[in-house]
Amino acid sequence: MKYAVFTVSTPSMSPEEVAPRLKEYGYDGIEWRVVDEKPNPPGMGFWHGNKSTIAFTGLEDCVPRIRHLAEENGLEMPALGTYVRASAPDDVETAMRGAVALGVKRLRVNVARYDSSEPFMPIWNRDREDYKRVAELAQKHGVQALIEIHHGSVCPSASAARLYVEGMDPEHVGVIHDAGNMVYEGFENYRMGLEMLGPYLAHVHVKNARWFPRKYREDRSVIWTCDAAPLHKGVAEIRDLFRALKAVGYDGWISIEDFSTERPLDDRLKENLSFLKAVEAETNSPAGYFHLIVQ
């Protein structure tokens, strides 16, 4: 495996700060967050005021700076974490041109959101047609567009993502598996989901989350809410995920996006990498292999 950090999870560090930090801690790569921040954000957070963000507007002009930061620190760039949507082909093509200029072969292109306020199938059908055009653009530019399994979208599970990409060329359309997002919505047995994705499995994001009771009603029923958790403390069983990845022969990138805040950022960066490498070693040990077989 190779390990990267998606910079959405390093909001307090500028690009010039985060790249050498990842080198120091032993990471192999960096996955840049690429989006235009809103002006005058209300403070700093993962999704607003994030200092580790590369602006989408003028992305191609930023290429020398971004490439220098990666190369100077010996970091590969496995993918770009853009926020462009399949329904905006001009933005998609701009992002793809930026990826090509950087020498990055993969970039995230988001699917439609879904919250059950409208009928599902018209949104699904329309968005799939949009993504077919994304696939054509990816072929034109020689890149691979990635769909992330994500709660609150039309692809919250591996099976939904496989149905969505069916018939598209896996050379130019792939799926990001995200066990942490599947805690919120869309959980399926990891091995089953990975096998269903088959040739479309292109990239893996790792984070974790857990459920909490938010409110107790008068009839004693419970309203639950889900929030981020440290990698080793959440509902997603990282060891099961790694065993499943081994079972399907995945040996690619693991990109960490830890949204928990129990520990300082520097501690999270160091401890997450140590934890995942230990889990990988355990998975590859004879005992781990035996566990994989008997499952």
Predicted confidence band of residue 287 (pLDDT cuts 50, 70, 90): low
pTM exceeds 0.75:
yes
Q: Which of 42-51, 52-61, 257-266, 276-285 has the weakest average pLDDT?
A: 42-51
Please check the confidence at residue 115 and state whether its pLDDT lies above 70: yes
For 153-183, give one letter per residue: b (16+ CB within 10 A) or e.
Answer: bbbbbbbbbbebbeebebebbbbbbbbbbbb
In terms of DSSP bridges, do strands 222-229 and 208-216 run parallel, antiparallel, or are they unpaired?
antiparallel
CATH of the domain at 206: 3.20.20.150
Indicate the average pLDDT of the chain: 95
Question: What is the structure's pLDDT at 288?
Answer: 55
Residue 253 near residue 215 (C-beta atoms within 8 A): no
pLDDT tens digits, 78-104: 999 999 999 999 999 999 999 999 999
d(CA 66, CA 96): 15
Q: Which domain holds residue 151?
A: 2-294
DSSP state of 40: S
Please check the confidence at residue 37 and state whether its pLDDT lies above 50: yes
Return the biggest CA–CA distance within the chain: 61
pLDDT tens digits, 150-200: 999 999 999 999 999 999 999 999 999 999 999 999 999 999 999 999 999
Question: What is the structure's pLDDT at 294?
Answer: 39
Our CA angle for 117, 258, 211, nearest 5°, is: 50
Domain count, the chain: 1
